[in-house]
Structure 1
Amino acid sequence: MEDILTFFETMPIWMKAGWVFFCLAIFWVLEGYYSLVVLKYKKWKHAKVNLLLLVFVMVINAVFGILTLGIFVWLNESNFGLLHLFEAPVWVELLLSIMVLDLIAQYGVHYLLHQVSWMWRLHIVHHSDKNIDATTGTRHHPIDFLIRELFALGAVVIMGMPISFYFFYRILSVLFTYFTHANISMPLWLDKTLSYVIVSPNMHKFHHHFKLPWTDTNYGNMLSIWDRLFGTFVYEDPKTIQYGLDISDHTDDENLWVQLGIPFNKSVRSKRRDSAN
């Protein structure tokens, strides 16, 4: 286990970037053979804005990582954090750290992105995609992504985890991001069974339904236990899902500059709380 964690801690940046594109490519190919729905769109044109947003995200991720290295050094020297309050095997500490990161840096911040008005306006960019496929996992407004990184850093400090735990979590998170957004068809029994423990593709697709209340469900990224625990889990008939967002369907979802400007565009309404499926 120690050797594995050392590997993730010392991974060069080109390998981390390569993992992102490898996962994206795998699910991109699988979509072509095992599609959940037939999307009537030009796949490469659709991918363009999502991949350009990925570039912003990767730059922010690299700069943010460099700026926060000092915090990991401080945590290591100060013994601050919950992990320093008890003795446990490394795998137990890793599992606990991943669970806390998933709760705070995924479920928790995602919930706030839907419930806090100014945060929601940033998150509209992700939900404005009318054709959900693997590239949608990269579709985040840069400020939206920065907020997520700040919450992840908060989880790191709370736990006092080593940087190797955080990198391991990021590698898993990338895999789940593309897995859950990919337009892939799985046997319903398998998808539903997986959803008892992890976020499955169908489970996350309900979150991308164009109207409430489904838009405000299934916030999880890796573990489905948080949605089940906090009452935000839903699983219905996948055939009834319609992608997009009713309050922004008039915007051009394949125009980068339109998408970057959505949070500041007053013509795009905020969420209608009286909307229902």
Structure 2
Amino acid sequence: MNEIISYFSTIPSSHRSLILIGGITIFWMIENTFPLFQMQYRKWHHAGINIFFTLTTIIVNFVLAFILIKTANWTTENHFGILQWIPEIPLWLYTIIGLLLLDLIGAYLAHLVQHKIKFLWRFHLIHHTDTWIDTTSANRHHPGESVIRFIFTTLGVLVVGSPMWMVFLYQSLSVIASQFNHANISLPHKVDLFLSYFIVSPNMHKVHHHYVLPYTDSNYGNIFSVWDRIFGTFTSLPKEKIMYGVDTHMLAEENNQLKNLLQIPFQKSRSAKNMKNH
């Protein structure tokens, strides 16, 4: 455990980039070999759009990183936050609690709020317009959403009182988890089901990308599945019934052109066309 803390306390930016690129590469190869769906699409064109948004996310996080670092340092120096207030516990338990809470605020809560507040949904909508979910879809976030997610991550660090090494560990795990649960990979049903009791599995997250409500408003988790189960937002749907996208933007010229995707948050808002179960 001490080795992990030491590594993530001083993790170079090059290593963090390697985690991002390595994850996409590995899951890209796996989904090409064991695909969940045989999707007929221009994979490289699709990847190009999503990688553009990945790069904008990296830029936003890099520019604002000093805020995150200062927040983490302030919490530890001033003994502020949940982890700073709890009695001394084993380091492994301390780490698990911290990661769970960071995931709750930085991922689950951020995701839930973006679905519930119309202004924030305008930015998150770009992620849901993807009609071909694969591992590159993980970071398909409008730059505006990247800022929103950063704010929630910073809030999580403040509330949790997590040291910077834990923040870097959480972000690394979050990247890999998101690439994994978006990947177009076919796991044996029992394996996927077993994983879904602990982490967000591919089939569990694919339900969230079904094109109509109420499925779109479910399975908000990123790393841990426990929060969806605790707060009653967990649901399931046979993979054969899943159709990707969002019912307000199903046309290719709207969901597969970079220029329009960047403009969507500033276009006239549309209401969901179908609120019924599918």
Fold shared, TM-score > 0.5 on shorter chain: yes
Aligned residues: 276
| 1:263 maps to 2:258 | no
Structure 1 match to 2:246: 245
CA distances 1:72-131 after superposition (whole Å, capped 9, x unpaired): 222222111122222112211111110111111111111111111111111110000010
Query: What is the distance in 1 between the residues matched to 2:73 and 2:103?
Result: 23
SS at match of 2:233: coil
The TM-score, its normalising length taken from structure 2, stands at 0.96
Tell me the alpha carbon deviations over residues 49-78 of structure 1, each in whole angstroms, 9 at most, x when there is no partner.
100011100011111112332222222221
Specify the alignment match of 1:165 in structure 2. Answer: 166
Say whether 1:45 aligns with 2:45.
yes
For 1:72 and 1:107, the matched residues in 2 are separated by: 20
Number of the residue aligned with 1:87: 88
Task: Specify the alignment match of 2:146 in structure 1.
Answer: 145
What residue in structure 1 maps to residue 229 of structure 2?
A: 228
The aligned counterpart of 2:22 is 22
Q: Cα gap change, 1:273/1:87 in structure 2, threshold over 3 Å: closer, same or farther? A: farther
1:136 maps to amino acid: S
1:211-230 Cα deviation digits (max 9, x unpaired): 11111111111111111111
| 3-state DSSP of counterpart to 1:210 | coil
Q: Distance in 2 between matches of 1:119 and 1:51?
A: 22
Q: C-alpha separation between the residues in 1 aligned to 2:255 and 2:48?
A: 11
Aligned partner letter, 1:235: S
Provide the rounded CA distance (Å) in 2 between the counterparts of 1:265 and 1:159: 37
Asked whether the 8 Å contact 1:117–1:270 carries over to 2, the reply is: no
Question: Residues of 2 paired with 1:164 and 1:48: CA distance?
Answer: 32
Q: Using the TM superposition, name which of 183-192 and 143-152 deviates more.
A: 143-152
CA distance in 1, matches of 2:273, 2:255: 20
**What CA distance in whole angstroms lies between the structure 1 residues aligned with 2:5 and 2:215?**
38
For 2:193, the equivalent position in structure 1 comes to 192
Name the aligned partner's letter for residue 154 of structure 1.
Answer: L
Which residue matches 2:61?
61
* TM-score (norm: length of structure 1): 0.96
Name the amino acid aligned to 2:11. Answer: M
Q: Calculate percent identity across the aligned residue pairs.
A: 39
